Amino acid sequence: MLFFGQIHCPITKLSAAWIQVSAFQFLKNPIDKEFTCLIIRNTFGQLMTENKQFDFWYAVNNTEVLQLPSTRLETFGTSVVNYHLLTELMDSTNKIRVREGRIEAFRPQIITPQSFLETMLEGFGEQASQYAEWMRTHQADLMILRYGFSIRKREVNDHIVSEALPVVVEQVRESLADKADPLGALLIGVEEPWEVCLLKLMVEVVQQSAPNHAHQLSADPKGVRHEIEHEFREAQRDKSRVAYLSEKLRKHKLFAEYEDRFFALVRSHG
C-alpha cells in the first residue's frame, strides 16, 4: 500500500490542524512490493525546510504505536479516534507527559489518479516523476482514497506522571481496557514536534481501514445503498418512515431491486 500525507497548516503553531492521507489500494493483481511515502507541505504548498524535515522524521522514527483502535474507521461517515500519547520530558528522569485528545476522521473520498497527480505531486522533481509513472502503469488496478483528519489542540488534556515509561504504559493500557473504547489508541512519541506523532498514528489507522473501505466503496461509491440500509432499519422501527423509504428507492431507481423486501416491510407493519 502506498501512502501520501499532506499537512495543510503548521500544526505546531496553530490551534487546529487539517491532515490528509491518501491510500492506494490494489483492487486486483497486487504486486509484492510495498510502497510507503509521506509528502509534507506547509500552508503555502512549499516543501519543508531542511531543519523542519529533520524534526519531522525524528518524530516519525521515534514514534511507536502500541495500540490501534479495535474497530475500523467508518466508510460512509465520520469517526473519532481517542488517542493517548506518552512522551518523556526532555532533561528529566521518570517524568512522562500523558496527552489525551480526539482526532476526527472524515468520510474517505475516492479520487482519480489524474486528480491526485495534479494536486499532490506538483513540484516534487524526479522522485515525483517516478511515482507518477508507477501510478500511470497501475492505475487500472488502483483505488485511491483520500482521508481527512482534524486535530484541535484546545481539546487536548495533558498531565505529568512521575513514573518510568513502562509503568505509565501499563497504567494507560489498563485504563483503556476499563473504558472498552473501540476507537482508543495508545502511542509513545516525542515532546517536540509531538503533533507529528499523530500523523504516524493516522497513517497506521488508515492502513488498517483502507482495504475494507475500498471493498465497500467499489460496490457503493456514493454510499446510496448504505443510506438505503439505514432507512430500512429506521422504517422497521417507525412506520411513518416507510413513505420516505419508498421515495428514496424511487429517486435512485432502485425500487425494483428492493421491491420484495420493501413490501415485506409494509406487511410487517400490518
CA 123 to chain centre: 25
**Spatial separation of the C-alpha atoms in residues 159 and 99, rounded to whole Å:** 7
Q: What is the mean pLDDT of the chain?
A: 78
Q: What secondary structure does DSSP assign to 95-157, as a single string? A: -EEEEEEEEEEPPPEEE-HHHHHHHHSTT-HHHHHHHHHHHHHHGGGEEEEEEEEEEEGGG-E
pLDDT of 15 over the 60 cut: no
**Grid coordinates 502503469 are at which residue?**
137
The pLDDT assigned to 66 comes to 97
CB atoms within 10 A of CB 236: 14
The pLDDT assigned to 231 comes to 92
User: What three-state secondary structure class fits 188?
Assistant: strand
The closest of 118, 115, 181, 169 to 142, measured between CA atoms, is 115
Which residues lie across from 150 on neighbouring strands? 18, 104
**Mind listing the pLDDT tens digit for each residue in 41-66?**
433 334 455 566 678 788 888 999 99
**Mind listing the pLDDT tens digit for each residue in 202-256?**
888 988 888 888 888 888 888 898 889 989 999 999 999 999 999 999 999 999 9
User: What three-state secondary structure class fits 78?
Assistant: coil
**Mind listing the pLDDT tens digit for each residue in 71-81?**
998 888 889 99
What average pLDDT does the segment 133-140 reach? 70
Question: pLDDT category, 182, cuts 50, 70, 90?
Answer: very high
Contact present, 19 and 5 (Cβ < 8 Å)? yes
Contact present, 41 and 120 (Cβ < 8 Å)? no
The pLDDT assigned to 118 comes to 67
Identity of residue 43: T
pLDDT of 162 over the 90 cut: yes
Which residues lie across from 4 on neighbouring strands? 22
Task: Supply the DSSP symbol for 41.
Answer: B
Q: CA end-to-end span of the chain, whole Å?
A: 51
Question: pLDDT category, 110, cuts 50, 70, 90?
Answer: confident
The pLDDT assigned to 211 comes to 82
Question: pLDDT category, 177, cuts 50, 70, 90?
Answer: very high
pLDDT of 89 over the 80 cut: yes
21: left (phi over 0), alpha (psi -120 to 50) or beta: beta
Please report, to the nearest 10 degrees, the dihedral formed by the alpha carbons of residues 222, 121, 196, 187 taken in order.
Answer: 50
The pLDDT assigned to 25 comes to 56
3-state SS track over 163-183: CCHHHHHHHHHHHHHHHCCCC
The pLDDT assigned to 14 comes to 38
The pLDDT assigned to 31 comes to 39
